[in-house]
Amino acid sequence: LCNKWLFLLHAHLYFWSGMSLSNQCANDTKYFQDWNDLRPIPGVDGAYPIIGNALLFSTNAGDFFNQIIEGTKEFRHLPLLKVWVGPLPLVVLFHAETVEVITTLSKHIDKAYFYRFMQPWLGTGLLTSTGDKWRGRRKMLTPTFHFSILAEFLEVMNEQAEVLTQKLEKQAGGDPFNCFSYITLCALDIICETAMGKNIYAQSNSESEYVRSVYKMSDIIGRRQRAPWYWPDFIYSLLWEGKDHDNRLRILHSFTQSVIKERAESMENAGSDSESDHGIKRRRLAFLDMLLKATDEEGNYLSHSDIQEEVDTFMFEGHDTTAASMNWALHLLGSYPEVQTKVQEELQVVFGSSNRSVTVDDLKRLRYLECVIKETLRLFPAVPMFARTVSDDCHINGFKIPKGVNALIIPFALHRDPRYFPDPEEFRPERFLIENSTGRHPYAYIPFSAGPRNCIGQRFAMMEEKVVLSSVLRHFSVRACQSREELRPLGDLILRPEKGIWITLEKRQC
C-alpha cells in the first residue's frame, strides 16, 4: 500500500511535469474546479485529493472488473456515479437515458484520456483519433465497409471456418477442452487476410511471434489503464512491463510495415502488368488495398504511416472482439440445449444435408442465429466499458458535468437493466425478434457503441460470427462444462473469461 501511495504521488508530479508554469497552474485550477463542481454527484467513498479512489482498485483484471460490476449493482438506483482515477474524474453511466446524452451528440466524440495508452500501437487511427481527423478518416473509410464489399470476404471466412472445423474434429467425442484459442486463432486468420491480404496461418502456427504479441499487447495496455502509477511515460519506460511493451510494439509494427510495403509493390507491379497486356491472376481484395487507393477530400493519398494506423486498428479491433463473442456464444449454446436445437433446426432448413459454404443469401436467412449472437452480446458485450471526454459543459439528470470530464459507459451493466430486459441474466435470444424488440429504448443495447462514433465494422463482425458459428454447429453439438459463476469475466479492453471456455463436442450427421 505504501508503495502505491509513492507511485501515485510520483504519477501526479509527472502528470503535470513537462508543462509550462502557466499550463501547470491551469491544470491545477481545473482539477480543483472539477472537484468542486462534481461534489453534488454521488460518488464512491474513499476518494482522496490527487490520488482519488485509485487505492481501492484491484490490479487483478478479474477482481477489478468484479469491483466495477458490483458497484453498478449497488448504485443501480442512482442515475450516475462519480469515481476519481488518480487526478482524473469519471462519471459512470449505465442507464439508457444517461448514456444517450453522451453518445448521441456529435460534439462528444473525443475518446477519454485512457485511450492515449493505445496510441503507441494504433497511432491516431479510427479508434483513437479525434476532431477533424476522425471525421475525415471516418468519411473516407465508411464506403470500404459497404455490404457489397464485405461480401468479397465471405470466401476467406468460409475457408478459415473449414480449417477450424477440421481442427475441432480431433476433439469431438473426447474430454472437455478449452475452445478459446481455437476460435481466436480462426478470427485472427480471418482478419489478417481480409485486412492485410496476408495469410499468417495462425491456426497452424499459434506460436508465431506476431500472434503472441497481438495477445500480449492488449493485456499490457489494459493493465496500464487500470494503474495510474503506470501512466507517466518516464516511470513506465523504466519498468520491466514498459520494456516488454516496447519490444512487442517493435514486433507488431515491423510486421504491418512489411506487409504494407509488400502490398503496395504488388499493386504497382499488377498495374504495370495490366498496362503491358500481361494477364494477372485476380487476387483477393483486402482493406489494405482500399486504403492504398483512398484519398481525402483534397484528393491526397494516405501516407504509409496513416495506412499503418488503420491496419493496426483493424487488426486489434477486428479479431479479439469477434473471437470473444463467438466463444461466449458457444458457452451459452452449450448451456441452453433448447436454444442450440433451435439454431440447428434453422441450419437444417437453410443448408439441408449439404456441406456447402455460406452464401450472402444464407446470411439473410439465419435470423434466429442472429438473435443468438445479439443476445450473447447483450450478456457479454465484447467491449464491456468505453469512455468519452465531455467536450462541453452539459447536464445529465440535473447534474452539471464540466467540460473535460471523462464519461465511462458500461454496456455490461446497461444491458442488464430489468426495465428493458426482464430476468436479465437469462439467455433468451427471442428478445431480439422484431416483435419483441420494437419500442425498446434505442440506447438500452449498444454492443457496438452508439451514435456517430459507433463501430464501423459491426456488419463485418456479424457476418464473420454467422459464418463461423454456423460452420461449427452444422458439424457438432456443443455442451458447456462451466457454470456462469465459473467463467469470471476479465474486463480488460475485451471481455474474456479468466480460464477460457471449456466444452465438449459431439459429431453431428450433417
Residue list, annotated binding site for heme: 455
Cell of 484: 456462469
Q: Which of 240, 217, 233, 471 is nearest to 320 (CA)?
A: 217
386 phi and psi, to 5 degrees? -145, 160
Whether residue 507 contacts residue 337, with contact meaning beta carbons closer than 8 Å, is answered with no
Q: Which residues contact 364 (CB under 8 A, 6 or more apart)?
A: none
Whether residue 339 contacts residue 333, with contact meaning beta carbons closer than 8 Å, is answered with yes
- CA 489 to centroid of chain Cα atoms: 14
**Residue 212 corresponds to which amino acid?**
R
Measured CA to CA, the distance from residue 96 to residue 413 in angstroms comes to 10
Cell of 3: 508503495
Annotated binding site: 455
Measured CA to CA, the distance from residue 356 to residue 389 in angstroms comes to 48
DSSP for 14-52 reads: HHHTTS-HHHHHHHHHHHHHHHHHTTTS-B-S--BTTTB
Taking CA 278 as the corner, what is the angle to CA 273 and CA 284, rounded to the nearest 5 degrees? 65
Measured CA to CA, the distance from residue 55 to residue 11 in angstroms comes to 13
Torsion of CA 70, 411, 76, 57, to 10 degrees: 30
Whether residue 134 contacts residue 389, with contact meaning beta carbons closer than 8 Å, is answered with no
Whether residue 59 contacts residue 227, with contact meaning beta carbons closer than 8 Å, is answered with yes
**The dihedral of CA 489, 477, 182, 119: what is its sign?**
negative
Cβ atoms within 10 Å, residue 89 = 25
Q: In terms of residues, how long is the chain?
A: 510
Scored b (16 or more CB within 10 A) or e, 36-64 reads: ebbeebebbeebeebbbbbeebeeebbeb
Measured CA to CA, the distance from residue 489 to residue 164 in angstroms comes to 24
Cross-strand partners of 480: 503
**Residue 491 corresponds to which amino acid?**
G
Cell of 377: 452480446
52 phi and psi, to 5 degrees? 60, -135
Cβ atoms within 10 Å, residue 98 = 22
- H or E segment and range at residue 178: strand 177-178
Cell of 269: 507491379
